[in-house]
């Protein structure tokens, strides 16, 4: 039985890593070991930031809703409490989009929510 030579497998593995490191600078793109370290680190950041993106987007939506609520003389928590009390089924993403692009629709929701909350 012939011995197993690993050159093909190693070459394939190295090529894959170097391809993933294509946008990196200097040695991190050209040599396997720094490229591998750089790719592993970048993949850890990717994994972490896919989760952080969700937090960041929610923070952005809340900031936009709060700014639009202040235009109507309310703060964020009062508005959200009124929306929940009025059983208006609209999430923060859509509410923030309305606040930015369709202010009359946002105003309608605010009026409905405040009307139901005062009753």
pLDDT of 102 over the 80 cut: yes
Residue written as token pair 């969700």: 54
Q: Is residue 20 part of a domain?
A: yes
Domain count across the chain: 1
- CATH number of the domain that residue 93 is part of: 1.10.1900.20
Q: Is residue 2 part of a domain?
A: no
Q: Is residue 1 part of a domain?
A: no
Q: pLDDT tens, 25-43? A: 999 999 999 999 999 999 9
User: What range defines the domain where residue 19 resides?
Assistant: 7-118
For the CA atoms of 101, 107, 113, 115, the dihedral, rounded to the nearest 10 degrees, stands at -170
**Residues contacting residue 107 through CB under 8 Å, at least 6 positions apart:** 72
Q: pLDDT tens, 62-96? A: 999 999 999 999 999 999 999 999 999 999 999 99
């Amino acid at each position: 039985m012939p011995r197993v030579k690993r050159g093909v497998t190693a070459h394939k593995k190295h090529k894959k890593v170097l391809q993933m490191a294509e946008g990196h600078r200097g040695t991190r793109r050209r040599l396997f070991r720094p490229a591998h370290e750089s790719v592993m680190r970048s993949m850890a950041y990717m994994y972490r930031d896919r989760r952080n993106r969700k937090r960041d987007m929610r923070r952005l939506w809340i900031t936009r809703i709060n700014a639009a609520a202040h235009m109507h003389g309310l703060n964020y928590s009062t508005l959200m409490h009124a929306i929940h009390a009025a059983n208006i089924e609209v999430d923060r993403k859509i509410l923030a989009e309305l606040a930015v692009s369709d202010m009359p629709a946002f105003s309608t929701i605010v009026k409905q929510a405040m009307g139901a909350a005062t009753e």
